[in-house]
Structure 1
Amino acid sequence: MTDQSASAAADYKDTVFLPQTDFPMKAGLAQKEPAILARWQEQDLYKQLRDARRGREKFILHDGPPYANGDMHIGHALNHILKDMVCRTQSLLGKDAPYVPGWDCHGLPIEWKVEEQYRKKKLNKDEVDPALFRAECRAYAQHWVDTQREQLKRLGINGDWDNPYLTMDFAAEATIVQELMKFAESGQLYRGAKPVMWSPVEKTALAEAEVEYADVTSTQIDVAFEIVDAPNAPELVGAYAVIWTTTPWTIPVNQALAYGPDVDYAMFELKSGEIEGKPHLEWMRDKRFVVAAKLVPDFLRRIGCEFDNSDSCLFESVGGAWPLKDATARHPMHALGGFFAKPRPFLPGDFVTTDAGTGLVHMAPDHGEDDFDLCKAHGLEPVFAVEGDGRYRDDWAWLGGADERRMSVINPKFNAPDGPICEDLRAAGALLSAGAFQHSYPHSWRSKARVIFRCTPQWFIPMDAPLATGDTLRGTALQAISDTRWVPAKGENRIRSMVEGRPDWVISRQRAWGVPITLFVNRKTGQYLKDASVNARIVAAIRERGVDGWNEADAPALLGPDYDPADYERVTDILDVWFDSGCTHAFVLESGKWPDLQSPADLYLEGSDQHRGWFQSSLLQSCGTRGRAPYKAVLTHGFTMDAKGMKMSKSLGNTIDPLTLIKDSGADILRLWALSVDFTEDHRIGKEILAGVSDQYRKLRNTFRYLLGALAGFEESEKVAVADMPELERYVLHLLADMDAKLARAVEDFDYNTYVRTLADFANNDLSAFFFDIRKDCLYCDIGPAAPQGTLKRRAYRTVLNVLFEALVRYAAPVLVFTAEEVWTTRYPDAGSVHLLEWPELPELGDGSELMGRWSRLRDLKDSVTGAIEPFRRDKVIRSSLEAEVKIAADAVPDGQLSATELAELFITADVSTTGGETISVTRTSHHKCGRCWRHLPEVTEDGALCGRCSEMLA
């Protein structure tokens, strides 16, 4: 190139259009997002949106209340980002989709934390005035409501944050009481004694949703019960029925033995040779034992006697289970007299199996559902020997109050092979074996202590009692499940199986912080009072004073003049917290406090664990009072694991703190992660995963940056009608329309993983790597003094870019809430928030099937050409594809063939020609390079001179 040419080339920089924008490549989200949040709050964006959508079709997502206890964790973040995505996409579709956040504020976790503060001060909570204690619980809950609210707002969640719902608001508590009264007045309440899961540490009944399972090592024991009567098989008298259990502490409340009606049993004794040299077996000499025939080998191994299928053991079949019918045995501790002296009957139990143990099960109706049902059917009632703290009551003959070895039944020492239970059984000649047994066992998820099944008087809502409709609560709930849309669909079977098999709903708890069971029970009849006037006074008291309105001093005023307080017991239990949250639809959707809401909700959205929690309690509560579910659809998400797929745990050090992530990288990165994973299953998060999300974000951001720069100075007068556009522009518009349909379908399916992936793939593959790359020459150079708005092709390109911008910023807004606002206000600083916009209206297009098919083949051809050029670039034969001349087979170009010039522009090469061959050939061009557009063209006489197009632009 001559000096003059070089000088001219330098001057040409000012003659081309280079994208210009103030939108930075570096996001700086952590610094920018708080300012955007503050602006939204100042402008009251939530109210603006409500005003803009007023009168439109509604979409109501009812927020499941997170618990007001602790900082936001990654599960909170995922859950609320998904909810925000639901509301924002529905709003984008033009619907009125309000979001009222809420919190669950009652219950044991908060009470437990307040008690911890007492314990640190060496104070006894039971000595504190209940009203004062509840006030401390209320203050504790309010602290965490305020904390979590600010943390969740930082995620960019658009909602009515200044007016959330709280289950501890007086009006909410009054509504919960009102809903309880509906069950009471319709006869759907009863007080009964059944075994329920009980925490001896927290001294209260627990719901299934409040229990978690963990592997433990328990003591397994084999215990001998001497058979004292067997009318159907006298030869059994004097033999010992062997039971096996992993809960030694239940032996002191044994009342019967269960056998399997279809199980074959064997009666045997050990040969002398098996006993010699084994002192622990000596007492078994000349004694006979009864065990399920199939389980004899396992039993013998547990007692230390090898079983080799030889004749080392003598068997006498008792011919199946029938000989045990009407038989009785005596308790190993029968010498204590009283309760222990009563004969223990053998009862037929369909639940008895030969999967493990001995095929004989000891029955303690106080401590097992099967035990309770079988014993009750045969007239054996619970004895309530174990108290709320897990110890046997003072007057219990075995290990009761006077015994110095008395301790909680969940204490491992109590059940150990050398503990008091085994010690006494061994002394009584009844302990055959004691050893370790590993298994899964329920624990309280708060105290982490083992729970027990304990029979206590509780309040229940029956599942199978007839309702006024003629159906049962179970039947009504199962029908409502069928009427509900479940996403993913497998959620329906999960909750259906739970409702089909669940026992009656235990709604009572023996604690202080919660909504009281506001019932008066007649001391003589045991029936609770049903009086609408009394109930109205109770509801009014709760509405005025909250849960403190239910107290002994006010009982006469609440009962009124028609009843003598001496005749009635005031119930002091509180409601299961799941009943509280199950009523939220009543005091949030139906109360009128939030007039934008309505019932039933279009959607409930929570983690999949809520099939046994909030989804189910809401379903049962609503079905029992309204005969239907409180929701039309239910969407569930899985749980977030670490990068290796392990459950997150502070002790393992593998947690991801969303607050730290937001502080370092910004909330939009966290949002993009949450909406990119398949959230319907368990999913992962980690540094490498987040690095990939950041890269995806960077590409999307750069797409918007390019659009903003390429549209600098764009005016309405530039717009070109679709019919006048080149094929490439029309093809891209059809791609956009195709993507638009996919995104709309993803919104309908709540398939946000597909939504984000489709949007990202379009931006990266169809735009950045294809459309933008091809048309950048046109954008830069098809403009000049002779064409101040550019050529038709350039104006068509910018018209499509404008369509793309208006659509993509809307599509991205529910996902990248802060970035989309930054993008929108960069181009339209005075146009208001992007989040007030609706789904884009795309240009009218005709049938594009033929066009789409042709361009799909052209893109495949382009990929092949790019692949053929790449070795020449790699070997530095050429520096860019613009230096390549390509020959392709004529029949490789689809029908509706583009000109050679158009093909060269498509492939971004110097020249394209067709041949009769079948392969693609590449050579380095000999054409000179235009000093303005840098294309190698035949009309350029020397490097740096102008091509015809550039000369025309500069004329």
Structure 2
Amino acid sequence: MADDADKPSRDYRETVFLPDTPFPMRAGLPQKEPEILARWAKLDLYNAIRADRQRAGAPLFVLHDGPPYANGAIHIGHALQKTLKDFVVRSRFLLGYDVDFVPGWDCHGLPIEWKIEEELRGQGRRKDEVSKAEFRTRCREYAAHWIAVQMAGFKRLGVLGDWEHRYATMDYSSEAAIVAEFHKFVATGQLYRGSKPVMWSPVERTALADAEVEYHDHVSPTIWVKFPVVEGSDAARGASVVIWTTTPWTIPANRAVSYNESIAYAVYQVEAMEEGLAFEPWAAPGDRLIVAEKLADEVMQAAKVARFRRVEAVDPQGMVLEHPLAALDSYYGFQVPMLAGDHVTDDAGTGFVHTAPGHGADDYLVWLAHGHREIPETVDPDGAYYPHVGLFAGLKVLETEGKKAGKFGPANAAVMDKLIEAGRLLARGRLEHSYPHSWRSKAPVIFRNTPQWFIRMDEPLDTPVHGGRSLRETALDSIEATAFYPGAGKNRIRSMVESRPDWLISRQRAWGSPLAMFVDKETNQPLHDPEVDRRIVETIRTEGADAWFNRPVNDFLGNHDPERFEKVEDILDVWFDSGSTHAFTLENRPHTRWPADLYLEGSDQHRGWFQSSLLESSGTRGRAPYEAILTHGFTMDENGEKMSKSKGNVVDPETVIRESGAEIIRMWAAMIDYSDDSRIGKTVLQTTADAYRKLRNTVRYMLGALADYSPDEAVELAEMPPLERFILHRLYELDGQVRAAYEGYVFQDVIRPLSEFCQNELSALFFDIRRDSLYCDRPDAVRRRAARTVMDAVFERLTAWLAPLIPFTMEEAWTTRYPDSHSNCLRVIPTTPAAWRNDAEAARWAKVQQVTSVVTGALEVERREKRLGAALEAAPRVYVADAELSAAFDGLDPAEVFRTSQATLVAGEGPPEAFRLADAPGVAVEPLRADGRKCARSWRVLPEVGSDPRYPDLSLRDADAVAAWDAAHGKVDA
């Protein structure tokens, strides 16, 4: 009978206001996101937001897209970069801006050429067997294919932009604009043709600019070579100047030896060689060698000299040497002068520098500084010695064909063999050092003398744009006027611009925008005729850059004599192409402006697109095309290692999207410190998914708790209980943090505080405390109405604040609650009343939570020891010695705060056996069991249960709520 008495008199589940929402716990993002994308496409979301902002007179914000290269599917670096750009676009929309963002692509250049060459080889055809028109058409089609693939990938990530009007550097209008920008440099005298050594890729058969070169460790042969003295002081006669180099192949191009007037040199005589060597050394007793005094020991050690003596000091000035290969071939029968140069040091080597003016920047400059003008040409475009080079004609410095392409050829070994034959090799070895490689092909490059076109960096320009400043000075001034995120980017790009040489802009390739100009054969100067330039640009605008290569010169020259002019068929450096994108994307388009507010790319673009854009715009407009630059780091695997297919550590965004959804990539991008290199992999993605799930569940709980919520039940601030006032205060604080973080592009400072807010103040505090009220209070109860009023405010803000970062989920949440509304993405951040700020309430709840932590700890011990079950079985007696902590509970129900059925606060230290925590001094807890019966509806244990005879198994609160529910549903028992 007792058991029967404890059974509920009815099933009260229908009277409990449990959360109710169709918003699923399992996101199903791979299936849901395409549905949302389709909805956005139907709305033409990007243009809809812009139109909405323009109607409201919103300020304009311009993000100019740095063009990715159109030669493959998107990788995780692409995904990070475009997602960050989307964060900017969506957050600026959210902040009330009208945002212009036109996605673009870089289409010209070597990688695409290689792919087409590979296709041709697969068909048994050589590139030189194909017309330039056909070759360029193939390149254009290849790039167009990958633009479509990449665009689909970026759209799948949820990236908003003016996709319909995307730009590409290969569009006819773009090529025309690029050529027009080039003509501006010609017209202002900033362009010149120079024959000097440039970094040359034999594999790619073209010159490279500094920005196209990267450095990798490489093992080179090192040689010490003897140059016999033919003219000099008495001490120097019969001696040899010793040089040291890591490029033996440049010895045939040697024309001088450089020294430094501040270095002390001396003649040394070899007296004895090391014994027991496995080979015959190339030095012998009696040899007289001239080296820097500081380096004599190192040189003799390399030559296996056991004993030597210093003869006397010597001054290299005025010495004349013999080329070390002169005895073998008359080609080397010229004299080799000694040249003074500041670039020579005695830090390593011999204190002398072998000088080949056709194969080194310093060599070239010191050669010119001493009045020499003729630069020998030793190596052809394929990296082989020209036929006229004695002893070595046709030998390759670098292999350019087959499996060995990019490897060093036989030239080094052949030169060393001939030096041994001539008796001029003193020693040799090997050195691992940093060596320049092509950024794209990864093959080594060489310095090679070749005529090229350059833009001057240091020529003062007396134009309205420059006002007597050089291009370098204009660019440096622009850097100072630019904001950098992070700030270290300013020094990085500044140091690069300060030290960079003249801009090498010509390339000897087929696929690109042409240096569309003519050169006067008599003056060797570019033709500058505005009418000719106009015809060139308009033809390219109509027919594309192919017209420059296909049309006869008379179509452009007009009345000029075609026999007098040379048509330049080099193509422009692709960095000039991409550096010009601001000209045709931001100018002469409606609803945008020049300069852009922001450029956003990886940190490697300080030497790439940021810099080429800076130089192009500074040269044509006198300032940078941007107000600010934001940079991000590289993506690494979970161990901090570079990703590569061979390692199997590549994270493919398409796979992540297919398995988990684009939202997980976006969440990851929001959580990282993107300014540094970031890690990603299975573990990182799982952690990200867990964080996403917690956010989603928070939103889901609010949607359920707000079912059927009406603004009519809203409670005014003055009527709010303390807990609700605290949550509103936190919304006030977060509103300021979120706005500041978005303004400063610190997306981590949005997602992390909001995630913590959802987990700590919402789920673990507000929802946990108010769950009983939400489920069991009658609908018109002030406490329940206040909780729902605050939840509505939280939902309104959370779905807005998070929309730029996880827009799919926020869109799903918004349309779940408001199925007939416009897109959540059309919203701006809701205004948060200043009256919500309540520092006193914040201070109160900090103290309340300090006490609560001790109660929670005590109850956990009781549950672990099986002395208590759920917290609702407890009635803790809480001792609080600190008067301020006690005062914090004024106006609060301790049992409600502690999530127990009953609770008592007592002033004092409490008995010794009470539970305590070291980090909450002055608080002690006796975890007592609650007295009374368990309410059949709310499960609270209270003495009052059964006091209402209508509902003998309910507490008074629950009885009142059920009575109201019964009345509303016509179930009142007369």
TM-score, normalising length: structure 2? 0.93
| Structure 1 residues 179-216: Cα deviation after superposition (integer angstroms, max 9, x where no partner) | 11111111111111122111001110112232232222
The residue that corresponds to 1:384 in the other structure is: 377
- The answer to whether residue 923 in structure 2 is matched with residue 915 in structure 1 is no
Which one-letter code corresponds to 1:20 in the other structure?
D
- Relative distance call for 1:51 and 1:407 in structure 2 (3 A) is closer
Residue identity opposite 2:410 in structure 1: F
Measure the CA separation in 1 of the matches of 2:883 and 2:685.
42
Give the residue type in structure 1 aligned to 2:570. Answer: D
2:937 to 924, 932, 940: 932
Task: Verify: 1:364 aligned to 2:364, yes or no.
Answer: no
Using the alignment, how far apart are the partners of 1:316 and 1:570 within structure 2?
A: 60
Larger mean CA deviation between 931-940 and 161-170 belongs to 931-940
Is contact 1:900–1:912 with CA below 8 Å preserved after alignment? no
**Structure 2 residue 338 is the aligned partner of structure 1 residue 346:** yes
Report the equivalent of 1:255.
Answer: 255
Check conservation: 1:931, 1:944, Cα contact below 8 A. no
| 2-structure distance, mates of 1:43, 1:552 | 44
Q: What amino acid does structure 2 have at the position aligned with 1:922?
A: E
Q: Contact 1:868–1:920 at 8 Å: present in 2 too?
A: no
Match of 1:272 in 2: 272
How far the C-alpha of 1:234 sits from its partner, in A, is 2.6
d(CA) in 1 for partners of 2:533, 2:479: 32
Change (3 A) 1:303 1:636: same
CA shift at 1:20, angstroms? 0.6
Task: Answer yes or no: is 1:796 the counterpart of 2:805.
Answer: no
Q: How has the CA–CA distance of structure 1 residues 277 and 613 changed in structure 2, closer, same or farther, with 3 Å as cutoff? A: closer
Aligned to 1:628: 623
Matched residue, 2:194:
192
Alignment-mate amino acid for residue 372 of structure 1: Y
- Give the C-alpha shift of residue 939 in structure 1: 2.4
1:412 aligns with 2:412: no
**1:300 matched residue in structure 2:** 300
Is the contact made by 1:731 and 1:852 (CA closer than 8 Å) also made in structure 2?
yes
**Compared CA separation, residues 875 and 289, structure 1 to 2 (3 A):** same
Residues 299-354 of structure 1 show CA distances to partners (whole Å, capped at 9, x for unaligned) of 23323346xxxxx32123526xxx01121211111135655222211222222223
Aligned length: 934
The Cα of 1:589 is off from its aligned counterpart by: 0.4
The CA distance in 2 between the partners of 1:410 and 1:847, in whole Å, is 66
Q: Which amino acid aligns with 1:365?
A: P
Partner in structure 1 of residue 885 of structure 2: 894
Give secondary structure in 2 for the equivalent of 1:205.
strand
Instruction: Kindly provide the amino acid, as one letter, of the partner of residue 796 in structure 2.
Output: E
Distance in 1, matches of 2:88 and 2:34, equals: 23
Note closer, same or farther for the CA distance 1:782–1:406 as it changes in structure 2 (3 Å cut): closer
Counterpart position of 2:524 = 526
Counterpart position of 1:481: 479
Per the TM alignment, residue 258 of structure 1 is displaced from its structure 2 partner at its CA by: 1.4
- Partner of 1:744, secondary structure, is helix
Seen in structure 2, the aligned counterparts of structure 1 residues 46 and 278 have a Cα distance that, compared at 3 Å, is closer
- Mark the CA change 1:407 to 1:486 in structure 2 (over 3 Å): closer, same or farther: closer
Deviation, structure 1 residue 667: 0.2
1:93-130 C-alpha deviation (Å, 9 max, x unpaired): 11001321000011111111111111222321122111
- The aligned counterpart of 1:425 is 419
What is the letter of the counterpart of residue 109 of structure 1? P
SS of aligned partner of 1:854: helix
Instruction: Quote how far apart the aligned CAs of 1:281 are.
Output: 2.4
1:327 aligned partner: 319
Contact 1:869 1:922 in 2 (8 A): no
CA, structure 1 residues 371+588, in 2 after alignment: closer, same or farther (shift >3 Å)? same
Mapped partners of 2:433, 2:459: distance in 1: 36
Question: Residue 882 of structure 2 aligns to a residue in which SS?
Answer: helix
Alignment partners' CA distance in 2, 1:406 and 1:117: 24
Look up the match of 1:786. Answer: none
Q: Give the 3 Å change call, closer, same or farther, for CA 512–10 of structure 1 in structure 2.
A: farther
Distance 1:339 1:350 in 2: 30
Matched, 1:535 2:533: yes
The corresponding residue for 1:77 is 79
Specify which of 859, 864, 867 is matched with residue 857 of structure 2. 867
> Over residues 908-951 of structure 1, what are the superposed CA-to-partner deviations in whole Å (9 max), with x where a residue is unaligned?
12212213113412223241322221222332369983222222
Deviations 1:496-517 (A, max 9, x none): 0000000000010000111110
**Conservation of the 8 A alpha-carbon contact between 1:399 and 1:405:** no
Kept in 1: contact 2:732–2:837 (CA 8 A): no
1:734-772 Cα deviation digits (max 9, x unpaired): 111101111111111111112111111111111111111
Q: Which one of the candidate residues 897, 901, 904 is aligned to 2:895? A: 904
| Farther-moved stretch of structure 1 (424-433 vs 925-934) | 925-934
2: CA distance, partners of 1:642 / 1:423: 46
Q: Secondary structure at the match of 2:432?
A: strand
Instruction: Give the structure 2 partner of residue 949 of structure 1.
Output: 957
- Which secondary structure state, in structure 1, belongs to the residue aligned with residue 98 of structure 2? coil
Q: Partner letter of residue 474 of structure 1? A: R
CA distance in structure 2 between the aligned counterparts of 1:410 and 1:732, rounded to whole angstroms: 64
Instruction: Compute the RMSD of aligned alpha carbons.
Output: 2.1
CA contact (8 A) 1:720 1:796 kept: yes
Of residues 578, 586, 594 in structure 1, which corresponds to 2:575? 578
Contact 1:610 1:616 in 2 (8 A): yes
Match of 2:164 in 1: 162
Change (3 A) 1:410 1:169: closer
Aligned residue number for residue 871 of structure 2: 881
Name stretches of at least 5 consecutive residues in structure 1 with no aligned partner. Answer: 307-311, 784-788
% identical equivalent positions: 49
What secondary structure is seen at the aligned counterpart in 2 of 1:324?
coil
How big is the shift at 1:850? Answer: 2.1
Is the 1:642–1:654 contact (alpha carbons within 8 Å) kept by the matching residues of 2? Answer: yes
Corresponding letter in the other structure for 2:420: R
> Do the aligned residues in 1 keep the contact of 2:70 with 2:107 (CA within 8 Å)?
yes
Q: Which amino acid aligns with 2:873?
A: E
Which residue matches 1:445? 439
Q: Is the contact between residue 602 and residue 633 of structure 2 (CA under 8 Å) also seen in structure 1?
A: yes
Work out the CA distance in 2 between the residues paired with 1:44 and 1:404.
Answer: 58
2:15 is matched with which residue?
Answer: 15
Q: Distance in 1 between matches of 2:867 and 2:230?
A: 102
What amino acid sits opposite 2:731 in the alignment?
A: L
Kindly report which structure 2 residues correspond to 1:482-501, keeping only aligned pairs within 5 A, or say none. Answer: 482-501=480-499
Partner of 1:117: 119
Q: CA deviation at 1:443?
A: 1.5
| 3-state SS of 1:316 partner | strand
The match for 2:742 is 747
Per the alignment, residue 428 of structure 2 pairs with 434
Q: Which ranges of structure 2 fall in alignment gaps of 5 or more residues?
A: 910-921, 964-974
Partner SS for 1:106: coil
- The 3 A distance-change label for structure 1 pair 513 and 406 is closer
Equivalent residue for 1:736?
731
Q: Secondary structure at the match of 1:224?
A: strand
> Matched residues in 2 for 1:441 and 1:180: separation?
32
CA deviations over 1:798-822 (Å, ceiling 9, x no partner): 0000000010011111111111111
C-alpha displacement at 1:235, in angstroms? 0.3
Aligned with 1:619: secondary structure? helix
Relative to structure 1, the CA distance from residue 279 to residue 876 in structure 2 (aligned partners, 3 Å threshold; closer, same or farther) is closer
Distance 1:110 1:911, change over 3 A: same
**Pair 164,404 (structure 1): closer, same or farther in 2 beyond 3 Å:** closer
Q: Give, in whole Å, the separation in 1 of the partners of 2:795 and 2:724.
A: 14
CA deviation after TM superposition for structure 1 residue 264, in Å: 2.5
Partner of 1:799: helix, strand, or coil?
helix
Aligned partners of 1:883 and 1:569: how far apart in 2?
Answer: 97
Q: Deviations over 1:876-901 (max 9, x none)?
A: 22123323313221535537543586
Distance 1:9 1:67, change over 3 A: farther
Shift of 1:855: 1.8
Partners of 1:462 and 1:398 in 2: CA distance? 38
Contact 1:676/1:756, CA 8 A, preserved across alignment: yes
Q: Secondary structure at the match of 2:897?
A: helix
Contact 2:221–2:431 (CA<8 Å) still a contact in 1?
Answer: yes
Q: Distance in 1 between matches of 2:787 and 2:588?
A: 54
> In 2 relative to 1, CA 665–405 (structure 1 residues): closer, same or farther, beyond 3 Å?
closer
Partner SS, residue 513 of structure 1: coil
Amino acid at match of 2:390: A
Q: Match for 2:936: what amino acid? A: G
Q: Give TM-score scaled by structure 1 length.
A: 0.95
Aligned in 2, Cα 1:900/1:577: closer, same or farther, shift over 3 Å?
closer
Match among 832, 856, 861 for residue 842 of structure 1: 832
Deviates more, 1:358-367 or 1:885-894: 885-894
Distance 2:439 2:645 in 1: 15
Quickly say closer, same or farther: Cα 1:73–1:16, change in 2 above 3 A. Answer: same
